Chains A and B, each alone.
Chain A
Amino acid sequence: MSQAVLFDTPGPRARRNILVANVIGGVVAAGIVGLVLWKLGQEGQLAAGRWTSLFTGSAWMNFFLPGLQNTIVAALYSVVLAVVFGLVFGLGRLAPLAPVRWLAGMVVEFFRAVPVLIMMVALYIGLGAFGVVSPRDVPLVSVVVALTLYNGSIIAELVRSGVFGLPKGQREAAAAIGMTHGKSLRLVELPQALIAMLPSLVSQFVVILKDSALGYIITFNEFLQLSRQFGGGNGNMLQALIVCAVVFILINWLLTRAAALVARRLSRRTSGRTQPRLVNAGAAGAAGTPAT
């Protein structure tokens, strides 16, 4: 339902009321901003030195950019591995053999229900204690594996719901020309389901990027960690963290826009639904399609 039907096209009185409400809303917003600025000023947070040091070459070359690089590397590894994991277990849930379906279903449901941070911390200390990977790589590996298991099971659900979301006629047509279950899945249903799930996959990338910041808790040198180190060293913690937040918001916002764009472009190439799901609440995601 478009929002325009919630209220009549405003007449003169309603327009006046809206104007008044607009002014009040604006004043309240300005008041909040003013209050924040006043508080910041009172604590000396607006001093120029605390902000200018953020925009020096050394801040970006030594802290922000390397951090961002680590974040993106972890996110890319996780995305690729999660897609593989998702395909394997998503197809497992569609398998003709019941035990395979149950096993895949149990794995997916389990990793969807466990908080990413719990997996990350257990991996971090476990891998460290057993010396499976070199100590230097432990944080990265823990972040990537935890993100892969969680997001992979979300993607498995995407694969499954993508196939289920196709019109029944697709499978029936494949059966009518004599294709077996596997052939119909491989040649008719999956290609369309995968195209239909691309926008959701792009918005899942937002979740992976956001959750990679959890690596901060297990000492992974990602963007948040290095922003914090920079802020701690230069006495401008608040400002450095604000830069970190702004960069994350920008990247994720662009990705969300890209997902919507991809959805529009692809909607003609598949009979599945290409609407990206409501973007995920991150470190947690959820069960069901509109994953928080």
Chain B
Amino acid sequence: MNLFEQVSFLFSSYNIPAAFWVNIQLTFWAAIGALLVGTVLGLMRVSPVPSLQWLGTAYVTVFRNTPLTVLMLLAVLGVWSQLKITFAQDFATNFFIYACVVLAIYHAAFVCEAVRSGINTVPLGQAEAARAIGLPFLPAARLVLLPQAFRGAIAPLGNVLIALIKNTTVAAAASVAVETSSVMRGMIEANSNMVILIFMIFALGYVILVVPVGVVTTSLSRKLAVTR
């Protein structure tokens, strides 16, 4: 078989786009969860309440330093099979939700750090001005700080998103069977003579997914940067 025939053989016998679609869906739900949790954590860490600061710091320390694979296994072998917490009757859906939750929990710690680095780009005078016109902490954060902080945090948030896209492959450890790394594994096991070609197909798939995210977030972060 020549290269063209090999590629068309692989694409006709395996549903490669479907595998990538699973990773994209994982990315989508986990990104929403991580953004929400991470923003709340970021606010907690800069809030005036010591117990909240402490909670935020503890969360980031714990989840930033745990390997994602360990978290996935803890969720599936610990929380699901030992504590019997289920999200759905259907196995596939259940593990998919588990993977999304774990990805969101893990990346929330990095979103929190990105939001904090965004807050760091806001000059002191902005917060002082907000205080001077009598805004308490939460309105000052909502009306003055966060809008500027998010614009300053686009580049680091883009990096978290790129990390998240690639980390969705770790869902394989949480028994999500139809995502890219598992599908690729099956394909190489069945066609070990085409190992390099199969790897290149999946690798290029990720390059196509990841590179535009980097380009878009970099240009957005330049375009939206607050001129100071």
Secondary structure type dominating chain A contacts:
helix
User: C-beta contact mask, A201-214 vs B, less than 8 Å → 1, else 0?
Assistant: 00000100111111
Minimum CB–CB distance for A253 against chain B, Å? 5
Interface size class of B (residues with CB under 8 A): 35 or more
Closest to B128 in A: A5
B114 an interface residue at 8 Å Cβ cutoff? yes
Residues on A with beta carbons closer than 8 Å to the beta carbon of B195: 122, 125-126, 129-130
Contact B207 A114 (CB under 8 A): yes
Contact A287 B184 (CB under 8 A): no
Secondary structure type dominating chain B contacts:
helix
Contact B185 A8 (CB under 8 A): no
Interchain CA distance A109-B206 in the complex, whole Å:
12
Interchain CA distance A108-B46 in the complex, whole Å:
36
Minimum CB–CB distance for A124 against chain B, Å? 8
Contact B69 A213 (CB under 8 A): yes
Closest to B136 in A: A7
B29 an interface residue at 8 Å Cβ cutoff? no
Residues on A with beta carbons closer than 8 Å to the beta carbon of B119: 1
Interchain CA distance A109-B173 in the complex, whole Å:
26
A262 an interface residue at 8 Å Cβ cutoff? no
User: C-beta contact mask, B95-137 vs A, less than 8 Å → 1, else 0?
Assistant: 0000000000011001001100101101110011001000011
Q: Among A1, A283, A290, which residue has its beta carbon within 8 angstroms of that of B166?
A: A283
A273 an interface residue at 8 Å Cβ cutoff? no
Interchain CA distance A284-B164 in the complex, whole Å:
7
Minimum CB–CB distance for B149 against chain A, Å? 10
Contact A117 B141 (CB under 8 A): no
Minimum CB–CB distance for A226 against chain B, Å? 13
Of residues 235 through 290 on chain A, the ones whose CB sits less than 8 Å from some CB of chain B are: 237-238, 241-242, 244-245, 248-249, 252-253, 256, 278-288, 290
Residues on B with beta carbons closer than 8 Å to the beta carbon of A249: 61-62, 65-66
A115 an interface residue at 8 Å Cβ cutoff? yes
Residues on A with beta carbons closer than 8 Å to the beta carbon of B162: 284, 286-287, 292
A-side interface residues, number (CB < 8 Å): 70
Known contacts A211-B67, A284-B163; is A121 also within 8 Å of B188 by CB? Answer: yes
Contact A242 B74 (CB under 8 A): yes
Contact A45 B67 (CB under 8 A): no
9 sample A-B contacts, Cβ–Cβ < 8 Å, listed by A number: A1-B119, A1-B124, A29-B51, A118-B206, A125-B188, A217-B173, A252-B64, A284-B167, A291-B163
Residues of B within 8 A of A (CB): 45-52, 55, 61-62, 64-71, 73-74, 77-79, 81-85, 106-107, 110, 113-114, 117, 119-120, 122-124, 127-128, 131, 136-137, 140-141, 145, 155-156, 158-160, 162-167, 169-170, 172-173, 180-181, 184-185, 188-189, 192, 195-196, 198-199, 202-203, 206-207, 210-211, 214, 218
Residues of A within 8 A of B (CB): 1, 3, 5-8, 10, 14, 18, 21-22, 25-26, 29, 39-40, 43, 45, 109-110, 113-119, 121-122, 125-126, 129-130, 206, 209-214, 216-217, 224, 228, 231, 237-238, 241-242, 244-245, 248-249, 252-253, 256, 278-288, 290-292
Give 7 closest A-B pairs by Cβ, nearest first: A281-B163, A286-B159, A284-B163, A213-B67, A129-B192, A252-B65, A284-B166
